[in-house]
Structure 1
Amino acid sequence: MVEAPTHIIRAALEPDLYRDIEIPSDRSLYDLAAAIVRAYAFDLDHAFGFFPKLAGHIYDAEPRYELFADMGEGDGSLSVRNTTVAQAFPRVRKAMTFLFDYGDEWRFRVEVLAMGKREPRKRYPRVVASVGKAPPQYPDFGEED
């Protein structure tokens, strides 16, 4: 039996704050989003999207993949539930912006570092590297630094 390939993807909030995640290539972008959010100890409680533009006004970039498309409100966006990681990220070094929470606008730079091979008895998706302390999803604005 041939094991499915995997993608090793870096999800970075800053150059020195990132999580490297290994995920089977046939999993959906929804699964990747959930893995990124979980790797940062956030709750998956907001809409999100993947955009091919890395800076500036990302919303009109195409192709874009948004949860809104799965809710019938996509306005030209493609589905995150029906698009695989391999379809959206076909090669090493392919990068996109993962926008989580359109209000707070958590912007992650998501880039394929390498392709891997799924190993028996390993649970996926899995965090293979963690650098930097994740910020709180909902900072307490009443606290002083």
Structure 2
Amino acid sequence: MAKTKKSESISQKAVSSSPDALYVLEVFLIEGPITEEFAALNPVVSRTIEIKGSNTLAQLHKIIFQAFDREDEHMYEFQVGGRGPQDPNARRYCLKAAFSSSDLSPAPTGDVATTTIASLGLSVDDAFGYWFDFGDDWWHQIDVQSISDKVPSGKYPKIRERVGDSPPQYADFD
């Protein structure tokens, strides 16, 4: 039994860098401009996303944008390899325009348009951050639920499950 567990663990690590792997990610909204009423009615707001290792972080952003019913694009970044969202020591992946901005510290690690999911070295149970709209500060935690080398046919990325309503992108606090 222990031998099987070990080989599954090794196999899981090897799959995590394959562009052909299928990643199941659960994206939780953890902070943002929502009303108390919305929060009371929706104690958990999450989306489960299926995405291939060959997809980029920009494609992950687009499916999250769609999954949370957002309407207006804004700057965003992913924070990987830290202790979850808002970790200043995490590797930061941003839009190319952010690389020329002098107010970003530390400097971004990579461009979301060219960084693939597989290149991040993710493993099951890893968590990383996604920050959308640097003014309204929508913070998300992304948990790696599973990674498999067998990808069913179909178009990816896709939304597999929705929990809770999507908050309005611009809350009316009046």
Gaps of 5+ in 1: none
Q: 2:143 aligns with which of 111, 126, 133?
A: 111
Tell me the secondary structure at the aligned position of residue 31 of structure 1.
helix
Selected match of 1:123 from 127, 151, 155: 155
**RMSD value, Cα:** 2.0
Q: Is the 8 A contact 2:24 2:144 kept in 1?
A: yes
Higher normalized strand content (fraction of residues):
1
Indicate the residue corresponding to 1:79 in structure 2: 111
> Bigger radius of gyration, 1 or 2?
2
How far apart are 1:42 and its partner, in Å?
A: 0.7
CA–CA separation in structure 2 for the residues paired with 1:88 and 1:136? 31
Does residue 84 of structure 2 align to residue 54 of structure 1? yes
Taking structure 1 as the reference length, what is the TM-score of the superposition?
Answer: 0.83
Task: Tell me the CA shift for residue 104 of structure 1.
Answer: 0.5
TM-score by length of 2: 0.70
Q: Contact 1:89–1:95 at 8 Å: present in 2 too?
A: no
1:135 is aligned to: 167
Q: 2:46 aligns with which of 8, 11, 18?
A: 18
Supply the distance in 2 between the matched residues of 1:132 and 1:118 (Cα, whole angstroms): 27
Q: How many residues align?
A: 135
Give 4+ residue runs of structure 1 displaced > 6 Å after superposition.
Answer: none
Counterpart CA distance in 2 for 1:37 and 1:9 is 14
Q: Which moved more, 1:110-119 or 1:95-104?
A: 110-119
- Tell me the distance in 1 between the aligned counterparts of 2:172 and 2:127: 31
CA offset digits 1:118-140 (Å, max 9, x no partner): 222x1211111111111111112
Contact 2:123/2:144 (8 A) holds in 1: yes
Identity between Structure 1 and Structure 2 (%): 28
> Unaligned 5+ residue runs, structure 2?
1-18, 31-42
Tell me which amino acid in the other structure corresponds to 1:108. H
